[in-house]
């Protein structure tokens, strides 16, 4: 149960680019790679250990062998042997489609899946880059539907300019899109259920328009204007700074210029570190692994301590 690194699962996307290679060193071989899935047990896309004696073992196999040791007793009680979150890096060379995700209740009913609450940490942004998050006013279902018919949806949406370090929390039902020129880290519930409502009339490599989920989205959208998405958080050096604490995950920001020891004896959860700057050696009771910007490591729940050895690093720490 040493700290585990995993092979990235790379995804070509119509809107992808090359920043995952240029900025994060991912082994991509084309110009349209949009996502690097870092930790996943989504069917067909299960992460595989890349380091140590268990190299080649899938994350699901690790969990199945000893669920409580990997996940934590309380996590197993809630989710069984399902890994409850999905970790990604995303590069948007072009605007992503405008979309939203259903809540747990609707996703279970329609797709036998969890909903998809997520958060974004901006790692890099071109000048003038922005996100779409929510509406710019309260709208009715009828107004929204009319805007799709007359091609005026963009007039109803809220745009947020972004820079490195900005963080956003995206509730289920909130309409959103990552804008061109943004590289970010994403933490989300384990779900791949997305309702795409507008795609700028783009066509795929075969000349086809991508599927829209207009009718499904109508009952899933939150039509109220809410300023609940921008995450303010402290940025004190050499300590743990709370960012997000929701029912699905907890995320902290850690920026270090020296070593840090974390006592996690009472933490009944696995711990994930996403490196968003610099590099660090992550040690637990059973071994160590070094990660640098753009890499992710999983520390099992049966660890009592985590020692972070570095002279300069920025981390997102994720637990349940």
Q: What is the pLDDT of residues 48-90, one digit of tens each?
A: 999 999 999 999 999 999 999 999 999 999 999 999 999 999 9
Same domain, 157 and 269: no
Co-location of 177 and 247 in the same domain: no
Alpha helices, DSSP H, located in the chain? 19-22, 59-65, 67-71, 73-79, 104-111, 141-149, 214-218
Are 173 and 245 members of one domain?
no
Structural tokens at position 70: 């990997």
Measured between alpha carbons, how far is 264 from 59 in angstroms, rounded to an integer? 22
Is 133 within a domain? yes
Q: Are residues 282 and 208 in the same domain?
A: no
Residue entry with tokens 């062998």: 65
Tell whether 140 and 244 lie within a shared domain: no
Residues near 59 by Cβ (< 8 Å), separated by ≥ 6?
4, 6, 39, 40, 41, 46, 47, 48, 49, 83, 298
- Domain end point (choices 184, 218, 252): 218
Number of domains in the chain: 2
**CB burial class (10 A; 0-12, 13-18, 19+) of residue 311?**
exposed
Give the DSSP letter of residue 154. G
Same domain, 45 and 141: yes
Residue 296 corresponds to which tokens in the numbers above? 């992710």
Give me the domain span that covers residue 103: 4-218
Do 115 and 106 meet the contact criterion of CB atoms below 8 Å apart?
A: yes
Tell me which residue of 43, 85, 47 sits closest to 271, measured CA to CA: 85
pLDDT by residue for the chain (320 residues), tens only, comes to: 999 999 999 999 999 999 999 999 999 999 999 999 999 999 999 999 999 999 999 999 999 999 999 999 999 999 999 999 999 999 999 999 999 999 888 988 988 888 899 999 999 999 999 999 999 999 999 999 999 999 999 999 999 999 999 999 999 999 999 999 999 999 999 987 899 999 988 887 788 888 899 999 999 999 999 999 999 999 999 999 999 999 999 999 999 999 999 999 999 999 999 999 999 999 999 999 999 999 999 999 999 999 999 999 999 999 99
Is the entire prediction scored with pTM above 0.85? yes
Q: How is residue 32 written in tokens?
A: 């349209």
Q: Could you give the CA distance from residue 270 to residue 72 in angstroms, rounded to a whole number?
A: 6
Tell me, what CATH number does 311's domain have?
A: 2.60.120.10
Residue 307: inside a domain, yes or no? yes
**Residues at the annotated binding site for Zn(2+)?**
101, 118, 176
Beta-strand relationship, 85-92 and 271-284? unpaired
In a domain, 23, yes or no: yes
- Residue 126 within a domain: yes
The last residue of a domain, from among 218, 248, 263: 218
Residues 273 and 171 grouped into a single domain: no
Same domain, 137 and 86: yes
82 and 20 inside one domain: yes
Q: Is residue 229 part of a domain?
A: no
And the tokens for 49? 């250990």
Is 153 found in the same domain as 55? Answer: yes
Phi, psi (degrees; rounded to nearest 5) at 309:
-105, 115
Instruction: Indicate which residues carry an active-site annotation.
Output: 196
Among positive and negative, which fits the CA dihedral 120, 123, 128, 129? Answer: negative
CB 297 within 8 A of CB 289: yes
Both 79 and 183 in one domain: the answer is yes
Same domain, 209 and 315: no
For 22, 281, 313, the CA distances from 124, given in Å and listed in that order, are: 12, 23, 16
In a domain, 199, yes or no: yes
Q: Nearest Cα to 306, choosing from 53, 291, 293, 295?
A: 291
Of the three residues 218, 248, 264, the one that is the final residue of a domain is 218
Q: What angle do CA 18, 24, 26 make, to 5 degrees?
A: 70
Binding residues: 101, 118, 176
Domain membership of residue 223 (yes or no) is no
The verdict on residue 135 lying in a domain is: yes
């Amino acid at each position: 149960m040493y700290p585990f690194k995993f092979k990235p699962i790379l995804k070509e996307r119509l809107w992808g680019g090359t920043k995952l290679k240029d900025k994060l060193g991912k082994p991509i071989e084309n110009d349209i790679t949009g996502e690097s899935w870092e930790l996943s047990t989504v069917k067909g896309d299960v992460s595989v250990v890349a380091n140590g004696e268990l190299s080649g073992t899938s994350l699901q196999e690790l969990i199945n062998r000893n669920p409580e040791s990997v996940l934590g007793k309380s996590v197993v009680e809630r989710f069984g042997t399902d890994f409850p979150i999905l970790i990604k890096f995303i590069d948007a060379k072009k605007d992503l489609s405008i979309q939203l995700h259903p809540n747990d209740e609707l996703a279970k009913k329609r797709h036998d899946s969890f909903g998809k609450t997520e958060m974004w940490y901006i790692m890099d942004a071109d000048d003038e880059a922005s996100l779409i998050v929510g509406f710019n006013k309260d709208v009715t279902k009828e107004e929204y539907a009319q805007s799709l018919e007359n091609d005026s949806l963009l007039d109803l949406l809220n745009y947020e300019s972004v820079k490195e370090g900005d963080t956003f929390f995206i509730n289920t039902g909130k309409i959103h899109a990552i804008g061109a020129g943004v590289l970010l880290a994403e933490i989300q519930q384990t779900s791949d259920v997305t309702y795409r409502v507008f795609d700028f009339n783009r066509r795929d490599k075969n000349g086809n328009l991508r599927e829209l989920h207009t009718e499904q989205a109508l009952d899933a959208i939150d039509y109220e204007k809410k300023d609940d998405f921008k995450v303010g958080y402290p940025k004190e050096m050499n300590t743990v700074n709370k960012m997000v604490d929701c029912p699905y995950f907890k995320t902290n920001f850690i920026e270090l210029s020296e070593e840090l020891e974390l006592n996690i004896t009472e933490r009944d959860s696995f711990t994930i570190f996403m490196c968003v700057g610099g590099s660090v050696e992550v040690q637990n009771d059973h071994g160590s692994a070094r990660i640098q910007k753009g890499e992710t490591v999983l520390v099992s729940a049966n660890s009592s301590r985590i020692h972070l050895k570095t002279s300069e690093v920025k981390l997102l720490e994720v637990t349940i």
